[in-house]
Amino acid sequence: MHSNMKKTLLATVVAGVVGALTPLTASAKADKVFVGHLADYSGPTAYVSKPYSDGVKDTLAWINANGGIDGTRIESETVDYAYKVPQAISNYKKWKSRKGMVAMQGWGTADTEALISFVAKDKIPVFSASYSGHLTDPTGKNPKTKKPAPYNFFYGASYSDTCRALVKWAKEDWEAKGKSGKPGFIHIGDNHPYPNAPKAACAEYAAELGFDVKAPVVVSMKPGDFKAQCLSIKTSDADYGYVANLGGSVVSLIKSCDTVGTEIQLMSNIWGGDKPTFEAVGKGINNFVFPAMTPFWSDDVPAMQTVRDIAQGAKRDGFQTHHYVRGVCSALYMADAMKWAKANGGITGENIKKGMYAKKDWVPANMDGVCLPASWTAEDHRGINTVNVYQTKWNEGEVDVSRISQVTLPRRDDWLGY
């Protein structure tokens, strides 16, 4: 055979093979998208990050086991960044450049806020477990907003709005008890972006409602002996205290304040109240007030069976905290937005963001009664402005929990991003 003829024949065969493979390769690429997942399994917030992050991870696996995003598989990687901002940023950059990440399930306030400008520029939506009010103004129209956060979303009321709801409940509680004069309010938490996120906003609203706002008391996020801090709270004459920490720190605080006889109505942020914390405190947990954005594991809500199925699919048997359930909701809202994106131009970060605005008063498919109805718009990322308020009762060695209020806050322009 002539050498030119050989070359021609070889070129034809190669072209045929490439032609046959190219559509398959493109199809394979189109049939999966990458979602990064930051978790704290070994740092100072691991106590609550583990159940929440397990909820996210288990839900992503459950979505894939049930057909993915209408046929598109979610490829994901969970990284323990130990609550360290530089590690969060380096993982984000790696996922963006090497994996073509379309969305990220995030975790902490310090790292989520540090990534605001990156994700806005790269058009990669982040669904965080930080509920910082600073993440809720997508356009930066409120002068108090640190920076516009057009690609940041979270499921639940912001830390600021949750604290405002607790303060509103506290004022009603004060009046219902027939007390006169100004009730005292105090912020109790570490000097760190997460506990500090609602500090100024909540103090302003407390003052607006007629509270005497006391100087904040700094308490470490690490467990310790907090008797000195509890004495400061005691001498401040505060009647209501907002606990901005979580886990072991909350346990230490309540026990220390019991020891020195600090009489104050404690109200925690959403990470500060859960069954393991209550059981670790014991008798001293009586009358502790905390918020929740979902029902609890044992509640008789039909859609909770889906949450249990998600946990069982990951071979997690038995009780999970309400942090796990919020992780499930976060992943399912993202998945619904991805489904919208796939039907409207493809699963890109930009289209997922648009998908978050496609519905109003929206609950993920088959999750009625578990995830609260939420609405995000291009001007307002405060998805939820309703807060369920619960109180504990110590009952002969058992902790009973009951809902004592539901507070729906106004969407005030001066509260956006703050």
Q: What is the pLDDT of residues 238-294, one digit of tens each?
A: 999 999 999 999 999 999 999 999 999 999 999 999 999 999 999 999 999 999 999
Give which of 141, 157, 99, 145 is closest to 124, Cα–Cα. 99
pTM beyond cutoff 0.75: yes
- CA-based end-to-end distance of the chain: 78
| Same domain for 248 and 269 | yes
| Same domain for 166 and 146 | no
Beta strands in 7-99 (DSSP E): 32-39, 73-80
Answer yes or no: is 371 within a domain. Answer: no
| Same domain for 176 and 244 | yes
pLDDT value at 12 more than 50 = no
| Same domain for 330 and 394 | no
| Same domain for 274 and 244 | yes
* pLDDT tens figures, 60-75: 999 999 999 999 999 9
Residue 191 Cα distances to 26, 128, 195, 218, 227, angstroms: 50, 21, 7, 6, 18
Per-residue pLDDT band at 1 (split at 50, 70, 90): low
Beta bridge partners of 39: 80
Q: How far apart are CA 37 and CA 25, in angstroms?
A: 26
Answer yes or no: is 22 within a domain. Answer: no
* Nearby residues of 258 by Cβ (< 8 Å), 6 or more positions away: 284
Answer yes or no: is 378 within a domain. Answer: no
* Nearby residues of 292 by Cβ (< 8 Å), 6 or more positions away: 270, 273, 322, 388, 390
| Same domain for 164 and 153 | no
| Same domain for 310 and 245 | no
For residue 305, give both structure tokens: 């069976």
pLDDT at 96: 98
pLDDT value at 18 more than 60 = no
Summarize the confidence of residues 146-161 as an average pLDDT.
97
Q: Report the CATH number at residue 326.
A: 3.40.50.2300
* pLDDT tens figures, 79-116: 999 999 999 999 999 999 999 999 999 999 999 999 99
pLDDT value at 166 more than 80 = yes
| Same domain for 405 and 275 | yes
Residue 75 Cα distances to 35, 92, 102, 104, 386, angstroms: 6, 15, 10, 11, 33
| Same domain for 139 and 39 | yes
Answer yes or no: is 139 within a domain. Answer: yes
Answer yes or no: is 11 within a domain. Answer: no
| Same domain for 171 and 132 | no
Q: Where are the alpha helices (DSSP H) in 85-152?
A: 85-99, 109-114, 116-122
What total of structural domains would you count in the chain?
2
Q: What is the mean pLDDT of the chain?
A: 93
Answer yes or no: is 379 within a domain. Answer: no
Answer yes or no: is 314 within a domain. Answer: yes
Helix (H, G, I), strand (E, B) or coil at 223: coil
Region of poorest pLDDT, from 8-12, 90-94, 194-198, 318-322: 8-12
| Same domain for 142 and 168 | no
Last residue of a domain, one of 355, 373, 398: 355
Q: Please give the residue range of the domain that contains residue 122.
A: 31-157+298-355
| Same domain for 117 and 87 | yes
Answer yes or no: is 6 within a domain. Answer: no
